[in-house]
Structure 1
Amino acid sequence: MEDISYNELNVILAERRPVTVVFVYTPLCGTCKVAKDMISIVQATHESLPIFSVNINHSPSFAQNWKIKSVPCLLIFQKGLGVERVYAFQSIGFIHHVLKPYAAAVALDQEK
């Protein structure tokens, strides 16, 4: 999971990639650390799935623009458009279930 700035994220979203996953966090949030570990485990299963992280403390305008209600938050974009957001990181299995169809979409796109 690569930590990026809000400006870098805007560039990535402008590229209209098939899928982009963004983990939104703050460094002092204990729940964020647990969620980040969960996402890292799931990412090992879906290595082709692009997952980035954004420290919301460095990007307050990001929080306003995307109406982030709390952290941790997982934002999922398809072709640059926000399609899903997750606030409750219930379990590794749950995160896997959420990300699996998006990983499949990335895999299909890479086969083209």
Structure 2
Amino acid sequence: MKEVSKETWDTIKNDKAIIFIHTPFCATCQLAEKMLRVIEEADPSRVIYRMNASFYPDFMIENKIESVPAVVIWDGDNVRDKLYAMESVTKLYGLIEDWEQKWNILK
């Protein structure tokens, strides 16, 4: 996963991306991150960005992110779709595959 920093945000904010939103001390976030790492290992060409919600309060408010963990599809302007409940690696993998096709995200 690539950490979203000021520099990486300036690079991806105008592009399409899959973003995992978390906070450092959230146990559910840590579990969701482990699932996402399995998905990344299955396809190393896939890029998932990791955003610490605490550093991006404006993003959270503007895009109505209600809780963490969250996985969102960013279209270069706003959040197009979001998921809060990571039920299983299989379900999460299928959703990400669907998003990549639906929103034309190149791996």
Output the amino acid matched with 1:73: A
Per the alignment, residue 81 of structure 2 pairs with: 84
Whether the 8 Å contact between 2:68 and 2:84 is mirrored in structure 1 is yes
Contact 1:20-1:49 at 8 Å conserved across structures: no
Identify the structure with the greater helix proportion. Answer: 1
Does 2:52 correspond to 1:55?
A: yes
Please report how far the alpha carbon of residue 34 of structure 1 lies from its aligned counterpart in structure 2 after TM superposition. Answer: 0.1
Question: Offset at 1:82?
Answer: 2.6
1:22-65 alpha-carbon deviations (Å, 9 max, x no partner): 00000010000000000000111222222111111112112111
TM normalised by structure 1 equals: 0.80
Equivalence for 1:4: 4
Taking a change above 3 Å as real, the CA distance of residues 35 and 80 of structure 1, as seen in their structure-2 partners, is same
Structure 1 residues 61, 79: closer, same or farther in 2, change over 3 A?
closer
Kindly report which structure 2 residues correspond to 1:1-112, keeping only aligned pairs within 5 A, or say none. 1-5=1-5, 8-14=8-14, 16=15, 19-78=16-75, 80-101=77-98, 102=100, 105-107=105-107
Contact 2:20 2:49 in 1 (8 A): yes
The one-letter amino acid paired with 2:90 is G
In structure 2, what residue type is equivalent to 1:46?
D
Say whether the 8 Å CA contact 2:17–2:48 is kept in structure 1: yes
What RMSD in Å do the two structures reach over aligned CA positions? 2.1
Counterparts in 2 of 1:79 and 1:57: CA distance versus 1, 3 Å: closer
Question: 1:7 offset after TM fit, Å?
Answer: 6.4
Runs of 4+ deviating beyond 3 Å:
78-81
Bigger Rg, which one: 1
Letter in 2 for 1:91: S
TM-score, length basis structure 2 = 0.83
Contact 2:17/2:105 (<8 A) preserved: no
Q: State how many pairs are aligned.
A: 104
